[in-house]
Amino acid sequence: MAEDYDYDLFTIGAGSGGVRASRVAASHGARVAAAEEFRVGGTCVIRGCVPKKMLVYGSMFAEELGHAQNLGWTIEGKSFGWATLRDFVNADVDRLEGLYGQTLANHEVEVFAERATITGPHSVRLSSGREVTAKYILVATGARPAMPQFPGVEHCISSNEVFHLARQPQCLMVVGGGYIAMEFAGIFNALGSEVTVVNRTDRILRSYDEQIVDRMLHIAMGRGIDFRMHSQIKSVEKDADGCLQVDLGGARPVAVDQILIATGRSPNTEGLGLENAAIELGKGGEIPVDEYNRTSCDSIYAVGDVTDRVQLTPVAIREGHAFADTVFGGKPRTIDYSAIPSAVFSQPPLAGVGLTEAEARRVHGDVKVYSSDFRPMKNIFSEHPERGLYKMIVDETSEKILGIHMIGPEAPEILQVAAVAVKAGLTKQAFDDTVALHPSMAEELVLLK
């Protein structure tokens, strides 16, 4: 690498994509430094999917304990303490942050715990005032919660703050119709909070199969979540006792003690100095890149949620790895964004891979839909008659599987394996030829009619 620069690579942002790119580049022999102004680990590890999934696990105990008696268990004096769960989750986040930092240290990546801004195609300035040069710069600053503008929005919180609440809200309003909104609505509903979901349209989880989403909505309503569709917050006023009065445009305001805004995420590009390298942003503030993660400036690359592609942690990790292999490993490669599995850890969870039924009909015309609508065995112990639903969308001519979508207990765990079949281009016959594993929920995938 050129000795004219302080480093071969300077990474701005030490989240999942930035950490992977930095350590792989270092393993290829590059001299690497990274700047992180908050905490090493990024959104997923610090205040996103990892701690959120822990809260999901904690909240699921409420339902399990609810029908424990039918399983022969007598549990006396049961109670829930939000502070205990919150503190345990945050302690494990601290542990994971340490592991991420150790990974960088083990690969001799120098970490600056401060903000860095771009001053040119090969230079950055740290908040301490130090100027650093690098042959290549990688932007991996991720995204942040997008907050709408209305009077009283300062009384609301985002997903960043929800992990640190001093008390569990008794009445929670969740604003949004995406996966973050649905997951936190499910968590606090299961923990006993009164939950209202406010969404500006009549659709939630737009990227998922409509039939699966409809089933989730029906189950969520049956569990007591109140959905206010075609609604938007006009204003919020805080009473002297801390109660929040929410104006939704109706005759009377809705009183809650916490409002969680989950209406999307915005790329962290503000004040990053990209204009100093003649890099223009997209209409949403994202950084446009080519298939090799390169921006319009040849020496600056970007990966993860700060770009205009798929906002998922595993995708950011793959992009970071591909960047390092391409630029420093002599192995140019790109990412295939087709058939990426995803899940919503609602209660019950839903998951999908490939085309939804609507997308498949729009793209391929004639398709076959196979499904199984069943009551999972574990649900017979519950008072809720909730049913699972698995769907397989198949091209009518070739019988190639175009998509698999499901809702039910452990759906994401089952879907991950099924996603391999979709990615590999298998046909439904391959599933039909596979012997069922009985009794299991997963066997429904090889028994679809």
Would you name the residues annotated as active-site residues? 438
Among candidate residues 366, 384, 364, the one with its CA nearest the CA of residue 376 = 384
The secondary structure element, H or E, covering residue 389 is strand 388-395
Omega before residue 332 within 30° of 0, cis: no
Q: What is the pLDDT of residue 222?
A: 95
Q: Give the integer Cα–Cα distance in Å for 195 and 188.
A: 7
Is 53 within any annotated ligand binding site?
yes
Within a domain: 1: no
Q: Which of 58, 100, 98 is nearest to 82 (CA)?
A: 58
Same-domain pairing of 77 and 184: no
pLDDT digits (tens, 9 = 90+) for 242-289: 999 999 998 899 999 999 999 999 999 999 999 999 999 999 999 999
Please check if 152 is assigned to a binding site.
no
Q: Are 293 and 323 in contact (CB under 8 A)?
A: yes
Expressed as residue numbers, the domain containing 357 is 348-446
pLDDT for res 246 = 97
**Nearest of 20, 21, 9 to residue 324 by alpha carbon:** 21
| pLDDT of 78 strictly over 90 | no
The verdict on 137 and 176 lying in the same domain is no
CA distances (Å), origin 241, targets 154, 190, 256, 362 = 17, 26, 12, 53
Query: What confidence score (pLDDT) does residue 2 get?
Result: 53
One domain, residues 62 and 96: yes
The answer to whether the annotation marks 182 as part of a ligand binding site is yes
| Domain assignment of residue 175, yes or no | yes
End position of a domain, from candidates 327, 360, 375: 327
Residue 366 lies in a domain: yes
For residue 65, pLDDT over 80 is answered with yes
> Cα separations (Å) of 261 from 103, 172, 347?
34, 11, 20
Instruction: Name the pairing type of β-strands 300-302 and 265-267.
Output: unpaired
- State pLDDT tens for residues 189-231: 999 999 999 999 999 999 999 999 999 999 999 999 999 999 9
Same domain, 130 and 18: yes
- Would you say 177 is a known binding-site residue? yes
Amino acid 385: pLDDT: 79
Specify which residues 261 forms β-bridges with: 175
Q: Residues 125, 139: one domain?
A: yes
Q: Is residue 336 part of a domain?
A: no
- Tens-place pLDDT, residues 280-316: 999 999 999 999 999 999 999 999 999 989 999 999 9
Q: How many Å apart are CA 157 and CA 140, to the nearest integer? A: 25
CA angle 413, 74, 195 (to 5 degrees): 55
Q: Which of 277, 297, 327 is the last residue of a domain?
A: 327
Average pLDDT of the chain is 95
Q: What percent of the chain has pLDDT over 90?
A: 93
Report the pLDDT value the prediction gives residue 394, as an integer from 0 to 100. Answer: 98
CB 132 within 8 A of CB 124: yes
Sign, CA torsion 67/73/77/79? negative
Q: Domain of 419: which CATH number?
A: 3.30.390.30
Q: Is 180 annotated as a binding residue?
A: yes
Count of alpha carbons within 13 angstroms of residue 432, beta-carbon side: 9
Q: With 0-12 CB in 10 A as exposed, 13-18 as middle and 19+ as buried, what is 134?
A: buried
Q: Note whether residue 62 is domain-resident.
A: yes
Residue 63 banded pLDDT, cuts 50, 70, 90: confident
How far is Cα 377 from Cα 142, in angstroms, rounded to an integer?
41
> 183 a known binding residue?
yes
Whether the CB-CB separation of 54 and 92 falls below 8 Å is answered with: yes
Q: Is position 338 within any domain?
A: no
Residue 49's pLDDT band (boundaries 50, 70, 90)? Answer: very high
What is the reported pLDDT for 71? 87
Residues 257, 224 share a domain: yes
Mean per-residue pLDDT for 35-43?
Answer: 95
Question: Average pLDDT for residues 52-79, to the nearest whole number?
Answer: 90
Provide the pairing of β-strand 110-112 with 32-35.
Answer: parallel
Listed residues 233, 248, 263: the one ending a domain = 263
Question: What secondary structure, in 3-state letters, does 313-371 show?
Answer: HHHHHHHHHHHHHHHCCCCCCCCCCCCCCEEECCCCCEEEEECCHHHHHHHHCCEEEEE
- Domain count for the chain, please give it: 3
**Whether residue 312 sits in one domain with residue 225:** no
Do 271 and 248 lie in a common domain? Answer: no
For residue 260, what are its two tokens?
């969680």
Residue 181 shares a structural domain with residue 129:
no
Of 171, 132, 151, 163, nearest in space to 49 by CA: 163
332/350 Cα distance (integer angstroms)? 35
Q: Are residues 185 and 87 in the same domain?
A: no
Q: 238 - beta bridge partners?
A: 244
343 part of a folded domain: no
Which segments within 42-193 are labelled E, that is strand?
110-112, 116-120, 123-126, 131-139, 143-145, 171-175
Tell me the sheet residues that pair with 369: 393
* CATH number, domain containing residue 194: 3.50.50.60
- Tell whether the model's pLDDT for residue 1 goes beyond 50: no
Phi, psi of 243 (to 5 degrees): -65, 140
pTM: 0.95
**Which amino acid appears at position 36 of this protein?**
E
| 49, 131: one domain | yes
* Residue 384 domain flag: yes
pLDDT at 168: 97
Mean pLDDT, range 41-62, rounded to an integer: 94
Condensed to tens digits (0 to 9), the pLDDT of residues 98-156 reads 999 999 999 999 999 999 999 999 999 999 999 999 999 999 999 999 999 999 999 99
Asked whether residue 353 falls in the same domain as residue 434, the answer is yes
pLDDT tens-digit readout, 359-399: 999 999 999 999 999 999 988 888 777 999 999 999 999 99
Residues 158-185 pLDDT 10s: 999 999 999 999 999 999 999 999 999 9
